[in-house]
Amino acid sequence: MRGNRVDGAIDAIEVTAAGILAVVTANTFVSVILRYLFSWSIPDSYDFGRLLLGILIFWGIAVTSYRGEHITVDLVWGVAGPKLQRAMDVFANLVTLGAMAVLAWMMGDKVLSTRADHVLTFDLNLPTWIFYLVAWMPIAASIALLVARTIRQILRPETVVRDYRIEAIE
Strand partners, 120: 127
pLDDT-derived band at 69 (thresholds 50, 70, 90) equals: low
pLDDT tens sequence across 106-126: 999 999 999 999 999 888 999
Question: In terms of Cα–Cα distance, which of 107, 120, 94 is closest to 57?
Answer: 107
Q: Which of 100, 73, 89, 96 is nearest to 153 (CA)?
A: 89
What pLDDT, on the 0 to 100 scale, is given for residue 161? 54
The 8-class DSSP code of residue 39 comes to S
Q: What is the pTM of this model?
A: 0.75
Q: Which of 58, 51, 24 is nearest to 122 (CA)?
A: 51
Sign (positive or negative) of CA dihedral 42, 44, 50, 51: negative
Helix-helix angle 82-116:45-67, to 10 degrees = 150
